A and B are shown apart, each in its own frame.
Chain A
Amino acid sequence: MEIKSMRFKANASASLANVVLQGNLKNAKGKFVTKRAEALRDLDDFEGTRDAAKAIRNKVIDNLDLWLERFERKALDTGAHVLWAKDGAEVCRLVTEIARKHGVKKVTKSKSMLSEEAGLNQALEAAGIQPVETDLGEYILQVDNNEPPSHIIAPAVHKSLDDVADLFHKVHGTPRKTEIPALTREAREVLRGHFMTAEMGLSGGNFLVAETGSVALVTNEGNGRMVTTMPKVHVVITGIEKVIPTLEDLSTLMRLLPRSATGQSISNYFSILTGVKKPEEHDGPEHLYFVLVDSGRADVVGGDFHEMLRCIRCGACMNHCPVYQTIGGHAYGWVYPGPMGSVLTPLYAGIENSIDLPHAATLCNQCGVVCPVGIPLPELLRKLREKQTDAGLRPLTERIGLRLWAWVAQQPTLYALGARFGVRYLKWLAGKSDRISLLPMAPEWTRGREFPAPQGKTFREMYAARRAAQ
């Protein structure tokens, strides 16, 4: 997917000015936050379960090669093929080759963020193969001129009912419908034909189970089952970090994933798919391929951002992020938005391509509090800021300003003098008023709010005067 993260600031301003989007975001925010809170109340020991989940994920990412080999051996035993892709281009090449080998003209897809990373739909189309998104949200975006997703589990969350009603009316050429069930039925009717005719199904994978060589899929619409069981070929595309040791581990993680993501105690559909169709079985694919993708993940292993690999892609961090809630996902400019995206985009798409993202957070740590695998997201964002500074990627004025300020703050006498001067300058700016409406050195502050005037003297000079008087 094309990286537009360098335009974060302009994108964010555009999001703020978009009245329809602002309404849609307000609507979505409450639902995600409240439903998660309610679902987690049912869990007798959230902290304990989270510690267990964290331990499972750590066990894997600390010895990733080992667990991947175990998974590969088991998957091969079940009759699956296991292919390795080092980047998005290789994903596109491998999937296109598989499609060609089996004479595939149409591919039905359930949600896969890795397919977004790789830009797979464009590659398939270029190869004359029709990709059909079957997750309702992804389908809406695909028929809306391939709009990118704005959320990892609710890709069309930025759209309103009205937006979808207009869109379906336009692309399906049917009378405009305004009820959600009617719109859903319309999409289902269109998709049904595709399910029946696709020769290949493509899915992501929420987890890969090393013990059994299985892929676990968490979905809500049933499309995942259609995609993975009806066509003769099933291709699973997922990141190499998604492996977990056992089915027991899967059950622990599943106590947290749907609750954290959608506020469900269990998703509507939960599939554990193992191997190809056996002779005595009625359905399932004849050919099963795992495309396990690196795309920057291996470089993260063992480094400063290692803990990010625990991520199970629930989206709770973005749902609870004040910045995401305010501007939505598109502003972040790549596949993954919100706090997890502001860590992943620099790591996978280049720190130099996403200068703003690590700074696009108030470090309020609401993301860290809700993360079901305890990723210290604010700390990782801060470390990325450090990396940027060390690499000279921040604006020169900012770097000089910071160093100068830090140097002055180490010279108490000079600092006191500067503070006295600064306070008087601010007081002068305010005049008789209790506020400053335009701060020349920080106009960003005063564009949307006032800057309260200082009281007039520094604490330290007032304290010194008081001591002298005593």
Chain B
Amino acid sequence: MRVGLFVTCLVDLMRPSIGFAALKLLENAGCEVVVPDTQTCCGQPAWNSGDKPGAEALAKKTIAEFEGFDYVVVPSGSCGDHIRTEYLGMFATEPEWRDRATAMAARTYELTDFLVSVLKVEAVPGNYTGSVTYHDSCTGLRSLGIKAQPRALLAKVKGVELKEMNGCEECCGFGGTFSVKFGDVSAAIAERKCDFIHSSGAKAVAGGDLGCLLNIEGKLRRMGDETTRVLHVAEILAGEV
């Protein structure tokens, strides 16, 4: 099974360890993983900011790069959904691209969903010890139904004690460009999320989207919390912590 790994622009830039963790998880499950080296960004920031031409150009570029694979895997619910859902709506007047987008959408999965639903993995290499609370990122949760998958996988890591927080499904306030357009509101929403995390008593918070994790970590540290670890679920599952 040939899998194209789309690491996402944020992981490429900020936290390559998530990309390597995803790679390890997929290879460990027996996939032949290829990381096309021309990949950049799926175009979501352009699409959500109202730049349709920019978003369409990046969609076409991404589709062309990942067409040869059996599956495309993304360690992010929001980028994964952008490819799975939003690409389909972009090409109403370009039937050729609409067909290619449809084919790509059908083969594209968020990482934990792929591991559980397609690969049906029995075990993961991770060996993390400690309590973890899980933040459900909005798009993955509400658009792709990512909820049980990361929890099922975390349950396979022996030392992980999952401590659910109240409000685990509430938005962390990131919202892409929202976080820099309305920084004060965004940070205030993040503070609520951090309060939920603290109330859970967990020593670490995990999630599936780096944008949310940067927002949460940034707020925790500004609030003076120097100890709560903020981890991508792939890092825990792969033992790349």
Contact = CB atoms under 8 A, between A and B. Distances in A.
Interface of A: 9, 12-13, 16, 322-323, 326-327, 356, 359-366, 368-369, 382, 384-390, 394, 398-399, 402-403, 405-407, 409-410, 412, 415, 419, 422-423, 435, 442-452, 454-455, 457-460, 462-464
A402 B235 CA distance: 31
Interface string B3-17: 000010101111111
Interface in B39-68: 39-41, 43, 45-55, 57-58, 61
Contacts of B221: 435, 449-450, 452
Interface in B171-228: 171, 173-192, 214-215, 217-219, 221-222
Contacts of B15: 454-455
Interface stretch (B97-105, B113-121, B135-143): B135-143
B235 to A, nearest CB: 12
Given A16-B185, A460-B37, A452 B218 contact: yes
Contacts of B183: 442-448
Chain A interface, >50% SS class: helix
Contacts of B188: 16, 326, 448
B158 to A, nearest CB: 27
Contacts of B174: 362
A368 B141 CA distance: 13
Interface string B145-176: 00000000000000000000000001101111
Nearest to B52: A386
Contacts of B80: none
A322 B173 contact: yes
A415 B48 CA distance: 20
A18 to B, nearest CB: 12
A447 B61 contact: no
A95 B222 CA distance: 55
A105 to B, nearest CB: 45
Contact of A388 (B38, B50, B192, B219): B50
A406 B51 contact: yes
Contacts of B16: 455, 457-459, 462-463
B29 interface: no
Contact of B175 (A362, A403, A410): A362
B35 interface: yes
B215 A449 contact: yes
Contacts of A388: 50
Contact of B14 (A382, A442, A454, A462): A454
Given A363-B176, A447-B184, A448-B188, A458 B218 contact: no
Nearest to A360: B182
B179 A445 contact: yes
25 contacts: A9-B182, A326-B188, A362-B171, A362-B175, A365-B138, A365-B142, A365-B143, A366-B138, A382-B50, A410-B58, A419-B9, A444-B181, A444-B182, A447-B183, A449-B187, A449-B221, A450-B217, A452-B217, A454-B15, A455-B14, A460-B12, A462-B16, A463-B19, A463-B35, A463-B37
Given A364-B175, A448-B188, A459 B20 contact: yes
A458 B181 CA distance: 26
A449 B142 contact: no
A451 B182 CA distance: 15
Contacts of A409: 9, 40-41, 43, 58, 61
A46 B194 CA distance: 32
Contacts of A389: 49-52
Contacts of B186: 362, 448
B215 to A, nearest CB: 7
A386 B37 contact: no
B214 A451 contact: yes
Given A406-B55, A447-B184, A362 B189 contact: yes
